[in-house]
Structure 1
Amino acid sequence: MTSQQSEEQRDPYAQREAEKYDNPIPSREFISEVLETAQKPLRLFQIAKLVDVPEEDEERFEALSRRVKAMVRDGQLIRNRRGAFGLLQKMDLIKGRVLGHPDGFGFVVPEDGGKDLFLSEKEMHKVLHGDIIIASVVGEDRRGRREGMVVEIAEHANKQILGRLGFEDGLAWVRPNNTRITQDVFIPQDGLMDAKEEQIVLVEVIHQPSLRSGPIGKVVEVLGDYMAPGMEIDSAIHDHNIPNTWSEELLAELAEIPDEVTEADLEGRKDLRGLQLVTIDGADTKDFDDAVFAKRRKNGWRLVVAIADVSHYVKPGTDLDKEALKRGNSVYFPQRVVPMLPSKLSDGLCSLNPKVDRLCMVADLSITEDGKLDRSQFYQAVMNSKARLTYTQVHEMLTDKNSAYREEFAEQVPHVEALHELYKVLQKAREERGALEFDTTETRIVFDEERKIEAIVPVVRNDAHKLIEECMLMANVATARYLKWHKIPIVYRVHESPLEERLKNLRTFLADFGLVLGGGDEPTAHDYAEVSAKVAGEPYEHLVQTVLLRSMNQAVYTPDNKGHFGLNYEHYTHFTSPIRRYPDLLVHRAIRHAWLKQGVEGFMYDDAKMAELGSHCSDTERRADEATRDAVTFLKCEFLSHRLGEEYDAVITAATNFGLFVEIDPLYVEGLIHITELGEDYFHYDNARHCLKGERTGKVYRLGDRVRVQVAQVNLDERKVDLRFITDDSAQEEVSAEDGSPSSETPASEEQAEPKKRPKKRYYNKKKRGSRNSKGKS
């Protein structure tokens, strides 16, 4: 028996390797197994001997060497100082992504989902936010957190950094806009281009940081002056690595798509052009994903939800598809959108514009008298929207019989009223199902001609918003049920039950109000809804609702159908927005595959691929949320920077161990009242009840309390608003049945310490110095 035959018998993946390579080498799994069995790190020649790759076979030995190095690069192995290779888990090492904190310390978020590892400021000198590193556990810090040390950097995340250029004593540096990167980037004189002080520049990092030296870079682009209109959005796009340009290959591919729907496109489609389908969206919406129609039947309702057929134009493997996947979703900034698809598709061919033919994927649903889904049909069709309606128009049509809109859209009025009647039925079913519905205030920024904030106004959700939302929810549920029955892999929109620790803290908090959350270790949304109903109309209603909301998990995309806790659905996915969400596009492909009866085996994605795509889309969704939040926060801080010294009424939105976060009532801007502003007392943070309590006075500050504040300081670089405490209207002497203050159960990776001035980290090496839509969030 030859050594290669012996290897094939021992290597469980030898056949796979033989199919991929003419001269196969041992698989990664086999190499890991050999190291596991050896129970110690091994040098390359030792590994080669154990996997039957003789050094004399130079070609295979070199290939094995490359594979082992690739396993080190990917974090499967680590090479020690003696040149031996070992398994990470055997060497108490952790691979993960660095999450920087504005105060200089950071965390390692493990790839295996384990508990975060704390990195001190000293360790953070070696890395930048976003880097993939190998870290070792060196003990616990004074707060009981696992503390780590950087062993190796597997991947640098910041090839380019955006920031503001500064000069001092003839030396230049760039302070990153991303507050999680606290090290300034040193810029040599020959790397300045023509950039001037205080300009926002894009820097290419030519030397990554180390313990003794900060990052060094060169200016590659000057974006404009600091505080220039729109700069906050450009900064957010760069800081969060949001793709925002189209490649030449993609544009060439796009040019081959006809500008209008063709006769060939209609083949095999049902003709719905005579149906009274309409779109209902915001006044400033340009991309119309969905159109709706409802009709009363003898024993229920027919609801037709027609969704733009993006999958007809965006085929798997094309440049359009690859770019859409990379983006994951459209990103909506104030007055600007970074779309997932080029405007020819997002605002044109795929947008269900009025009075033009459009291709669509249809969920044709039968709904019972009591608002439950009875039957569903899915098919591809062609439609012609009869009207483009806004939420405001529809609401006025429904509430004002003398509205001019009833005359302007006279043909659509009966169908709008039918939709509203169906909405009432669906809303009642929602309440009986126990789905959660919290009253949260969304805001809209109104700009003046110079693109400075003129006002921040609340967005009022009326029955028109809710009508569309219920129609979309029903379509999403029907889609998930349909594809579950066909056993086709998809990404579900999963909202898991709250974690045990959060439930424990929630119950402790509710006990102060005499409230009990039912359901034992696995409460349902119905149990949450019962608590919410009991506090309806009480002064502390908003307080309790906020704590309930913050105890829950974030929804994600995954092929594991674990249901949607908040909506109380067993099956739920996203189907209704393929123009702006890649998961919906994947679901459309699955529907077409099922509709054409091509069988599960023939589908282009399996569960493993869907898991990978779902994880990526969850990440891009979070990326979009963080980017929009950064831009909006900057705009609000800039707005307040012109109001220093002004006084406002405010409401406490969170209590922490270093102070109170409050929202200024008329402005919807959040700021911090530092704990030292609360008076001559020692205030202690009650973790169980999430409130601050005075040791001597017994005063308690909790979420929902009314206070009077003065704008003391605004730090635009750090996007922080410091407020001066003036008076409190409702602080209590002790924690009573109406006391407590909620705070999200923040993971260690987002843990906050007492704010301090952002450190200017400039390190010297000889002469070099371095130093946030109502249709789709469920």
Structure 2
Amino acid sequence: MFQDNPLLAQLKQQLRDNLPKKEGVVRASDRGFGFLETDHRGESYFIAPQQMKRVMHGDRIIAVIRAENGKEQAEPESLVTPFLTRFVARIKVIKDRLFVVPDHPVMKDAIKARPMKGLDEKQFKEGDWVIANLKRHGMSDASGHFAEITEYVTHNNDPEAPWWVVLRRHDLPRCAPDIEQEWQLREEGLTREDLTALPFVTIDGESTRDMDDALYVEKTADGWKMLVAIADPTAYIEPGSALDLEAAKRAFTVYLPGRNIPMIPRHLSDELCSLHEGEERPALCCEMLITAAGELLPEPRFFAANIRSQGRLIYDQLSDWLENGSAEGFDPAPVIVEQIELLHAATTARQTWRKEHAILFKDRPDYDFELNEAGEVVAIHASFRRSANKIVEESMIAANQCAGDFLAAQPGYGIFNVHAGLDVEKFKGVQELLQLHEAPLTDETLLTLPGFCQLRHWLDAQPTSYLDNRIRRFQTYSLMSAEPGPHFGLGLSHYATWTSPIRKYGDMINHRILKAIISQQEVPVRADAALTDALSLSRRSNRMAERDIGDWLYARFLLPAVASQQVFDAEIMDVMRSGLKVRLLENGAVCFIPGSLILKDRKRFVCNHDEGRAYLDGEIHYELGQTIQVKLQDAIEATRTLVAIPTELPSAAAPVTKEVLAESEHELMDELLTEPEETAPEEDEA
């Protein structure tokens, strides 16, 4: 009787309408319950397990806030934005019915699913990897969540699953473009200078096939004249053609451990366009003048040419020759020796100038995975920028700086890499931090390019990298823009890459603009915001894919180190709410150190994310940039995570038992759920 009483129902609704409501994001736990985290820092409300069945981790919802037993709880009322749309999942078969389980640390519940039209339901087996779309959300339908399987990725036991899963997670292609034809040089109305007699050289990795830059240099009265010749795929690819549209969609060549997926067909990238030794190739060139002090003179000359590389140089071999005076199996001809010596002198001067007047990259190593034929990691090699790498780096940065200034002047647009430096909305925090540490510059000058360069130089001179790491949290991310703008991360007024058109679609666009100006033809129209946004998003997806496959391979490769209790040197990358994030210096792996493994008493051991420090009994115990020694405690392939523990622990630390480790994994899950996809802005490299 009471159940069907409309007056009672109306009264209940009125009472509900009078309750406070909050909008926020659902944060699940691996123990059934969750929290609603609002946009107000530190404000969260408990969500009971029964209510969590209606929502998912990451959903943005509006919830009614009820007080029960003196404690406030959130009751989901309406969905604002679902967390899951397109997602990677694994097949689960229950009573001959298909379900999918999202590939996510805490999403363990199976979702009812069916294949889309055209997919055979019988092809799906337990544990297979698939792509699915959420078609129905539990907040909008009492029958619960429902997904449609849109793509089969690979089978359960595929040893190459990490690559296929990561590529499809980020909606990246699995293979080269399937567009082949009899490629012919186009008639572009462009005069090409014959530079085939000049001893251009290429400098690349030993296995590189898509060689896209060659260098030549001459001594002048006050420095050097350098020619940078860049491979010219636009000489073959017609604007608006099927391949051009496909290259625009891909935006970049995808580089992953053990393989790459080219932006254009390999016959073009690795053969016809690649600057192979002894082969005549069309190129777009920049002639620049560098003073003895390393300064670039204005008004570089861009022109089209045909070149023929006369020396294929290998990074490590050339570096050995430059640094030690000889290299095994390397006996270059005198004309190549002359080029090497001139290139080394010119780029050394250039680096010296940039160190004083712009900003140099941190000399951090790259980590290269060595794989066997089965796709298993047999070793991870740390490679630092050596002499040969710096020759190429400085040459490409100079060429891209020239292109940036040239395009900014005419036609006033192109594809620019822009970086705004410090985030204006966070500037007050920067000022307070710098004032606390008595920095020489704390006013609005920091928002200018000269001021930012001065700040970076001061930070580089500090005895530790603690402040550097703190300041990077206040920096913006770099973007790709059609409008000219400075690149604070490089310390340059303009930066427009055109040196990798085989690998980057934005560089192809700049090639076409430069060639139109050279030949006095109609300049292509300015790229719209949709294109530049897509390029920025594609670059970010590529970086995340490289990170994700690396995390997966690290979890596999370092499992034996858990058993052996091998000791690693590690740098503290981040101080989080409940522990530390560190990078192993030997191989680049990122690990999480739960605070409970350091000290169970979290009143004595406190992690302060805002300060980038962890305190023991009120004293600084760890801080950003500090190097410590750690041992691995767990390698979890399911979540692609590594758990570590410092070798030196407080005397009150408890032994690491299975129970303690299990409890620490709850902290790990919490951090995985709140960690941003990108933790610190990175400068763009040439």
Q: What's the TM-score, normalizing by structure 1?
A: 0.71
In the alignment, which residue of structure 1 is the partner of 2:183?
257
In the alignment, which residue of structure 2 is the partner of 1:620?
538
Matched, 1:385 2:309: yes
In the alignment, which residue of structure 1 is the partner of 2:549?
631
Matched, 1:233 2:163: yes
Q: Secondary structure at the match of 2:669?
A: coil
CA displacement, residues 81-108 of structure 1 (integer Å, 9 cap, x when unaligned): xxxxxxxxxxx999x9x99989788999
| Counterpart residue identity of residue 260, structure 2 | V
In the alignment, which residue of structure 2 is the partner of 1:470?
394
In the alignment, which residue of structure 2 is the partner of 1:532?
459
Q: Is 1:101–1:179's contact at 8 Å kept on the other side of the alignment?
A: no
- Looking at structure 2, the residues matched to 467 and 407 of structure 1 have their Cα atoms a distance apart, in angstroms, of 19
Superposed, 1:237-636 pairs within 5 Å as 237-245=167-175, 251=179, 254-258=180-184, 268-374=191-297, 375-404=299-328, 407-500=331-424, 502-506=426-430, 508-509=432-433, 514-516=437-439, 518=441, 520-523=443-446, 524-535=451-462, 538=463, 540=464, 542-598=465-521, 602-606=522-526, 609-636=527-554
Q: Secondary structure at the match of 1:621?
A: helix
Give the drift of 1:507: 5.2
| Counterpart residue identity of residue 693, structure 1 | Y
Q: Secondary structure at the match of 1:439?
A: coil
In the alignment, which residue of structure 1 is the partner of 2:4?
none
Percent of aligned positions that are identical = 24
| Counterpart residue identity of residue 356, structure 2 | E
Matched, 1:676 2:676: no
Q: Secondary structure at the match of 2:459?
A: helix
Q: Secondary structure at the match of 2:575?
A: strand
Cα separation, partners in 2 of 1:266 and 1:501, compared to 1, 3 Å: closer
CA displacement, residues 572-628 of structure 1 (integer Å, 9 cap, x when unaligned): 111111111111111111111211223xxx43323xx43221111000000111111
Superposed, 1:166-177 pairs within 5 Å as 166-167=92-93, 172-177=98-103
| Counterpart residue identity of residue 165, structure 2 | S
Cα separation, partners in 2 of 1:152 and 1:224, compared to 1, 3 Å: same
User: Which segment is superposed worse, 365-374 or 458-467?
Assistant: 365-374
- Looking at structure 2, the residues matched to 775 and 543 of structure 1 have their Cα atoms a distance apart, in angstroms, of 18
In the alignment, which residue of structure 2 is the partner of 1:224?
155
Give the drift of 1:418: 0.3
Task: Choose the corresponding residue for 1:685, options 590, 607, 614.
Answer: 607
In the alignment, which residue of structure 2 is the partner of 1:215?
146
- Looking at structure 1, the residues matched to 75 and 488 of structure 2 have their Cα atoms a distance apart, in angstroms, of 34
Give the drift of 1:631: 0.6
- Looking at structure 2, the residues matched to 341 and 551 of structure 1 have their Cα atoms a distance apart, in angstroms, of 37
- Looking at structure 2, the residues matched to 658 and 246 of structure 1 have their Cα atoms a distance apart, in angstroms, of 43
In the alignment, which residue of structure 2 is the partner of 1:649?
568
Q: Secondary structure at the match of 1:412?
A: helix
Give the drift of 1:288: 1.0
Q: Is 2:490–2:683's contact at 8 Å kept on the other side of the alignment?
A: no
Give the drift of 1:244: 3.4
Matched, 1:716 2:645: no
Q: Is 1:491–1:614's contact at 8 Å kept on the other side of the alignment?
A: yes
Q: Secondary structure at the match of 1:255?
A: coil
Q: Is 1:491–1:611's contact at 8 Å kept on the other side of the alignment?
A: no
Give the drift of 1:200: 2.9
Cα separation, partners in 2 of 1:402 and 1:140, compared to 1, 3 Å: farther
CA displacement, residues 626-677 of structure 1 (integer Å, 9 cap, x when unaligned): 1111111011011223333424234332211111112334343222121112
- Looking at structure 1, the residues matched to 138 and 516 of structure 2 have their Cα atoms a distance apart, in angstroms, of 52
Q: What's the TM-score, normalizing by structure 2?
A: 0.79
Q: Is 2:218–2:226's contact at 8 Å kept on the other side of the alignment?
A: yes
Give the drift of 1:274: 1.0
- Looking at structure 2, the residues matched to 106 and 664 of structure 1 have their Cα atoms a distance apart, in angstroms, of 34
| Counterpart residue identity of residue 174, structure 2 | N
Cα separation, partners in 2 of 1:639 and 1:543, compared to 1, 3 Å: same
Cα separation, partners in 2 of 1:299 and 1:339, compared to 1, 3 Å: same
Q: Is 1:191–1:218's contact at 8 Å kept on the other side of the alignment?
A: no
In the alignment, which residue of structure 2 is the partner of 1:750?
none
- Looking at structure 2, the residues matched to 310 and 730 of structure 1 have their Cα atoms a distance apart, in angstroms, of 63
Superposed, 1:92-103 pairs within 5 Å as none
In the alignment, which residue of structure 2 is the partner of 1:48?
none
Cα separation, partners in 2 of 1:344 and 1:108, compared to 1, 3 Å: farther
- Looking at structure 1, the residues matched to 490 and 566 of structure 2 have their Cα atoms a distance apart, in angstroms, of 40
Q: Secondary structure at the match of 2:445?
A: coil
- Looking at structure 1, the residues matched to 559 and 474 of structure 2 have their Cα atoms a distance apart, in angstroms, of 33
Matched, 1:201 2:129: yes
- Looking at structure 2, the residues matched to 730 and 399 of structure 1 have their Cα atoms a distance apart, in angstroms, of 47
- Looking at structure 2, the residues matched to 582 and 313 of structure 1 have their Cα atoms a distance apart, in angstroms, of 14
- Looking at structure 2, the residues matched to 186 and 586 of structure 1 have their Cα atoms a distance apart, in angstroms, of 45
| Counterpart residue identity of residue 559, structure 1 | A
Q: Is 1:130–1:157's contact at 8 Å kept on the other side of the alignment?
A: no
Cα separation, partners in 2 of 1:388 and 1:715, compared to 1, 3 Å: same
* Stretches of structure 2 lacking an aligned partner (at least 5 in a row): 1-20, 68-73, 653-665, 674-681
- Looking at structure 1, the residues matched to 217 and 347 of structure 2 have their Cα atoms a distance apart, in angstroms, of 10
Give the drift of 1:416: 0.9
Q: Secondary structure at the match of 2:560?
A: coil
Cα separation, partners in 2 of 1:417 and 1:292, compared to 1, 3 Å: same
| Counterpart residue identity of residue 223, structure 1 | T
User: Which segment is superposed worse, 299-308 or 187-196?
Assistant: 187-196
| Counterpart residue identity of residue 669, structure 2 | K
Give the drift of 1:138: 8.4
| Counterpart residue identity of residue 345, structure 2 | E
Task: Choose the corresponding residue for 1:640, options 537, 549, 558.
Answer: 558
- Looking at structure 1, the residues matched to 44 and 286 of structure 2 have their Cα atoms a distance apart, in angstroms, of 48
- Looking at structure 1, the residues matched to 84 and 582 of structure 2 have their Cα atoms a distance apart, in angstroms, of 37
- Looking at structure 2, the residues matched to 119 and 492 of structure 1 have their Cα atoms a distance apart, in angstroms, of 44
Q: Is 1:489–1:610's contact at 8 Å kept on the other side of the alignment?
A: no
Give the drift of 1:356: 0.9
- Looking at structure 2, the residues matched to 324 and 415 of structure 1 have their Cα atoms a distance apart, in angstroms, of 35
Q: Secondary structure at the match of 1:407?
A: coil
Give the drift of 1:175: 2.5
Q: Secondary structure at the match of 1:615?
A: helix
| Counterpart residue identity of residue 629, structure 1 | R
* Stretches of structure 1 lacking an aligned partner (at least 5 in a row): 1-91, 732-752, 761-773
Cα separation, partners in 2 of 1:643 and 1:270, compared to 1, 3 Å: same
Give the drift of 1:194: 3.9
In the alignment, which residue of structure 1 is the partner of 2:90?
164
- Looking at structure 1, the residues matched to 536 and 644 of structure 2 have their Cα atoms a distance apart, in angstroms, of 35
- Looking at structure 2, the residues matched to 119 and 603 of structure 1 have their Cα atoms a distance apart, in angstroms, of 57
RMSD (CA atoms)? 4.3
- Looking at structure 1, the residues matched to 458 and 273 of structure 2 have their Cα atoms a distance apart, in angstroms, of 43
CA displacement, residues 317-342 of structure 1 (integer Å, 9 cap, x when unaligned): 11111111111111100011111111
Matched, 1:702 2:617: no
- Looking at structure 1, the residues matched to 478 and 373 of structure 2 have their Cα atoms a distance apart, in angstroms, of 38
- Looking at structure 2, the residues matched to 438 and 302 of structure 1 have their Cα atoms a distance apart, in angstroms, of 28
Q: Secondary structure at the match of 1:566?
A: coil
Q: Secondary structure at the match of 1:522?
A: helix
- Looking at structure 2, the residues matched to 690 and 730 of structure 1 have their Cα atoms a distance apart, in angstroms, of 23
- Looking at structure 1, the residues matched to 438 and 559 of structure 2 have their Cα atoms a distance apart, in angstroms, of 42
